[in-house]
Amino acid sequence: MAKLLEGKKGLILGVANKRSIAWAIAQSAAREGAELAFTYQGERLKDNVEELVKTLSSDSLVFPCDVTDESQVDAAMQKIEKSWGGLDFVAHCVAYAKAEDLEGGYTKTKKDGFDTALGVSAYSLTLVAQKAQPLLEKRGGGSILTLTYLGGERVTPGYNVMGVAKAALETSVKYLAYDLGPKNIRVNAISAGPISTLAARGISGFTDLLKIAKEKAPLRRNTEAEEVGDTAAFLFSPLSRGITGEILFVDCGYHILGF
């Protein structure tokens, strides 16, 4: 039986460690037959990402890419074009806000913190889509995926400026889907329930979020990273060929609640 992503080539941005949602996405895509390229942000993460990638495949591409530096995004796409010629899908799993902007209330957010959160967490998707478009077109189109959270739609105390960034990201998904649709490039987001990643643990009150989600979600449990990974594999595959501009919730049903 053919695998969902047999013969497909994809780029995963944002792997930091084995608990990253980006890593769960990579594992699901690799299981379904995809050939993958990975980026890391800064030398601090290089060794860890390279060691992880070796457990998946010895043929994967690995190179640096800081999404706040357009020249590095260009360089990453050039390396992919040289090695593969084109791309079938991109997983944008990048977000960042200053620690001080995730403490206290949103009203104390300063302009530099706002600019940082919006630039890294939202604009970077637009930049990556711009640069990846020619490579996706070379393969007849493809799929771009990003990660969001319910805090972009509803107030989540402690999420603060990251919630504002996710709101911008979700609207970017829709505009990018409209612009890129004629090129047969689909753009979607997964809104995952709270998952205990290194980044998530930096959010004030995150332990309470996990507890509440487990108690209240219709499935009465927390979301697993592997569930997000499998949903991503579906969104990369031809099975989702009619889906674009969507925010797909993988949160054990928590988002349907009115309390």
Cα separation of the two ends of the chain = 44
| Dist CA 205 CA 203 (whole Å) | 6
Is position 178 annotated as part of the catalytic site? Answer: no
Considering 40, 96, 106, 149, which one is annotated as catalytic?
Answer: 149
R_g (Cα) of the chain, nearest Å:
17
Residues 6+ apart with CB under 8 A from 251: 150, 191, 192, 193, 213, 217, 223
Considering 106, 123, 159, 254, which one is annotated as catalytic?
Answer: 159
Is position 149 annotated as part of the catalytic site? Answer: yes
| Residues involved in catalysis | 149, 159
